[in-house]
Amino acid sequence: MENINRLHKFSFILILFLITIIIVFSLILSAGCSNKSGVKANGTSVSDAQSGSSTDSLQNSSVSEGSSTTTQPSSTTTKLETTTSEQIPSDIQQMISEADKYYNNGEYAEAVSAYRKIKPAVEGNGSISASLKGQIINSYSQNFEDSKTITETARMHYGNAMQLEYEKRIDEAVKELEEALKIYPNYQDAIDKLDSIKSLYKLK
């Protein structure tokens, strides 16, 4: 009977020991799972934070780019308004009109002289902006260059005619004068010289 009681006590102690081991093992496993979950949760949080930070940076960058894009047109518009609001001084406008009149009438030597006076007047005017000065000078530069080319070419033919007349090569001199007048019909020196040669040498 006593042996049976001892066996019961031993069995009870063994069962308690096994239960204790199982509980401890269960606690260890649950603690390990909790740590893994925590790491995963933390990793997700960091990724989310980084992703959110990147998104914010991109948004800020987009806003910044948008701001710079919208300021450029306003700057350009301001410059255009400043340019268009300026007026060409009346005295300079009159000089340009007179030079253009000479040019349109085929009076190229007079046009060259008139156009040449405009640039110093424009550059010496302190009330005009540099931008407007450039626009004024560019506005008549093509007519000025054309006038110079025409007069210089006509004078070259006239000079050739003078040399040919001196050498008694009258027909060639006449051709040179005619060439000068094709280019510059109002070239008075060439007109007078051609009339003089034709009259002197009885040419038609």
| Residues spanned by the domain of 157 | 90-200
Q: Looking at the structure, tell me whether residues 20 and 80 fall in a common domain.
A: yes
Q: Looking at the structure, tell me whether residues 195 and 105 fall in a common domain.
A: yes
pLDDT of 67 > 50? The answer is no
Q: Looking at the structure, tell me whether residues 73 and 125 fall in a common domain.
A: no
pLDDT of 134 > 80? The answer is yes
pLDDT (0 to 100) of residue 82: 35
- Count of CB atoms within 10 A of residue 146's CB? 14
Question: Which residues neighbour 102 within 8 Å (Cβ) at sequence distance 6 or greater?
Answer: 108, 110, 111, 114
> Of 85, 113, 137, which closes a domain?
85
pLDDT band for position 33 (cuts 50, 70, 90): low
Q: Give the least confident one: 3-7, 153-157, 182-186.
A: 3-7
> Of 85, 111, 143, which closes a domain?
85
- The model carries a pTM of 0.58
pLDDT of 159 > 90? The answer is yes
- Count of CB atoms within 10 A of residue 136's CB? 23
Q: Looking at the structure, tell me whether residues 101 and 194 fall in a common domain.
A: yes
Q: Looking at the structure, tell me whether residues 194 and 96 fall in a common domain.
A: yes
CA gap 197, 170 in Å, rounded: 8
pLDDT digits (tens, 9 = 90+) for 73-114: 333 322 323 344 789 999 999 999 999 999 999 999 999 999
Q: Please, what sign has the CA dihedral across residues 120, 121, 127, 132? A: negative
3 against 180, higher pLDDT: 180
Q: Looking at the structure, tell me whether residues 122 and 75 fall in a common domain.
A: no
Q: Looking at the structure, tell me whether residues 105 and 147 fall in a common domain.
A: yes
Q: Looking at the structure, tell me whether residues 94 and 80 fall in a common domain.
A: no
Q: Looking at the structure, tell me whether residues 52 and 101 fall in a common domain.
A: no
CA gap 22, 32 in Å, rounded: 15
> Of 27, 61, 85, which closes a domain?
85
Q: Looking at the structure, tell me whether residues 161 and 187 fall in a common domain.
A: yes
pLDDT band for position 26 (cuts 50, 70, 90): confident
Number of domains in the chain: 2
Q: Report in angstroms the alpha-carbon separations of 18 from 13, 23, 25, 120.
A: 9, 9, 10, 114
Q: Looking at the structure, tell me whether residues 37 and 130 fall in a common domain.
A: no
Asked if residue 169 lies in contact with residue 176, where contact means CB atoms within 8 angstroms, the answer is no
